[in-house]
Amino acid sequence: MKAGIVGLPNVGKSTLFNCLSNAKAQSANFPFCTIEPNLGVVNVPDPRLQKLESLVNPERVMPATVEIVDIAGLVRGASKGEGLGNQFLGNIRECNAIIHVLRCFDNDNIVHVDGSIDPIRDKETIDIELQLKDLETVEKRLEKVNRAAKTGDKEAQKEQAVLQRFKSALESGVSARAVEMTEDEEEIMSPFQLLTSKPILYVCNVDEASAKDGNAYVDRVKEVVKDENAEILVLAVATEADIAELESYEERQMFLEDIGLDEPGVSKLIRSAYKLLDLQTYFTAGVKEVRAWTVPVGATAPKAAGVIHTDFEQGFIRAEVIAYDDYVTYGSESKVKEAGKMRVEGKEYIVKDGDVMHFRFNV
């Protein structure tokens, strides 16, 4: 599951990605590993993990991770292959969610590709290119479906009607994520992986003075995206880069306090990306290791077990489950058991965020 950072050139994408690549930008306990130049596996800051560590005192601690991709800057005409258009659009298609960086600060020393600062225009530039590419995808599929629909094929006629709705929306400048669908329609559209159907987080890149409360540019963005079912995060990316350069945790905290923040913005960004990808965390806690495991929201207990090892899923018998709050309240697994707060769950159990789990299996 990957979230891709997109935006026009010179809006702060690479600076943001480099912030994420520096462990100090998050916390002393969360390292970062670069797999290749434009792909990073970033650990998800989670205070619950540190609390479990203090209670269990394990040999090691392993956080959950999320993949962040730094995608090439886009220019007008990308949908027709201009600039790095084909590479840009191909990289987005491979991602499960989009982090769209918008420049919301004035600085005469940083040239804007369009000569002036206007985050709404910038947003529309990228929206249009993605919509045009999606329109091309929909029209290609419609050519085939129309022929089948003419023969009286009921399934083809059903798909034709759905595709026509998306074609009309895209031609009107409406992104696919704004089109309401039934479950059946979602199933029809899912294979096409439309670029504008992916969940999106807008990052308003501001100056340091606007890091806490935003500015007029941010207000305009909020107004424009209010009907998009999208999240907005205000981030002073250059300031985050300065914070990341500081040597100690104490220095970083002092810097944050000076500008009115309680934690680095990139930590909020990582958690937002994790949520955007519809992911959640469950924990395993033992003297060897306390670990956060990533599962999709709605995962069953056997699927969660399979994240650890496929044998755990195939031979699943039951899961012993403790709610995180109960674990913290009673302070240990044995005391939770004594209080009767440990539950035994079967194959149908839907994992909840924060569950502390132990699996019984037979292979």
pLDDT tens digits, 51-109: 999 999 999 999 998 888 887 666 565 556 554 445 667 778 888 999 999 999 988 87
Residues 84 and 205 in one domain: yes
CATH code of the domain in which 190 resides? 1.10.150.300
What domain count does the chain have? 3
Residues 135 and 90 in one domain: no
pTM exceeds 0.85 for this model:
no
Q: Is 91 helix (H, G, I), strand (E, B) or coil?
A: helix
DSSP string computed for 238-282? HHHHHHHH-SSHHHHHHHHHHTT-SS-HHHHHHHHHHHHTTEEEE
Residues 161 and 303 in one domain: no
Cβ proximity of 322 and 355 under 8 Å:
yes
Is 334 part of a structural domain of the chain?
yes
Is 290 part of a structural domain of the chain?
no
Last residue of one domain, picked from the residues 218, 246, 276: 276
Residues 97 and 25 in one domain: yes
> Could you tell me the residue range of the domain that residue 75 belongs to?
2-46+65-116+198-276
Nearest to 101 by CA among 77, 79, 73, 76: 73
Residues 213 and 314 in one domain: no
Is 103 part of a structural domain of the chain?
yes
Residues 99 and 214 in one domain: yes
Is 323 part of a structural domain of the chain?
yes
Is 54 part of a structural domain of the chain?
no
Is 311 part of a structural domain of the chain?
yes
Last residue of one domain, picked from the residues 196, 216, 247: 196
Dihedral-angle region of residue 210 (phi above 0 means left; psi in -120 to 50 means alpha; beta otherwise): alpha
Q: What's the pLDDT band for 40 if we cut at 50, 70, 90?
A: confident
Average pLDDT over residues 197-206: 94
How far the first Cα of the chain sits from its last, in Å, is 29
SS (H, E, C) 166-190: HHHHHHCCCCHHHCCCCHHHHHHHH
**Higher confidence at residue 277 or residue 80?**
277
CA dist., res. 259 & res. 236, Å (int): 10
Last residue of one domain, picked from the residues 241, 276, 311: 276
Residues 33 and 80 in one domain: yes
Is 53 part of a structural domain of the chain?
no
Average pLDDT over residues 16-21: 79
Provide the token pair at 164.
């026509």
pLDDT tens digits, 233-252: 999 998 988 888 887 888 88
Q: Is 287 helix (H, G, I), strand (E, B) or coil?
A: coil
pLDDT tens digits, 134-157: 999 999 999 999 999 999 889 999
Amino acid at 204: C
Instruction: Output the pLDDT for position 76.
Output: 61
Amino acid at 97: A
Residues 24 and 100 in one domain: yes
Instruction: Output the pLDDT for position 32.
Output: 37
Residues 131 and 249 in one domain: no
Residues 81 and 222 in one domain: yes
Residues 89 and 183 in one domain: no
Is 293 part of a structural domain of the chain?
no
Residues 240 and 307 in one domain: no
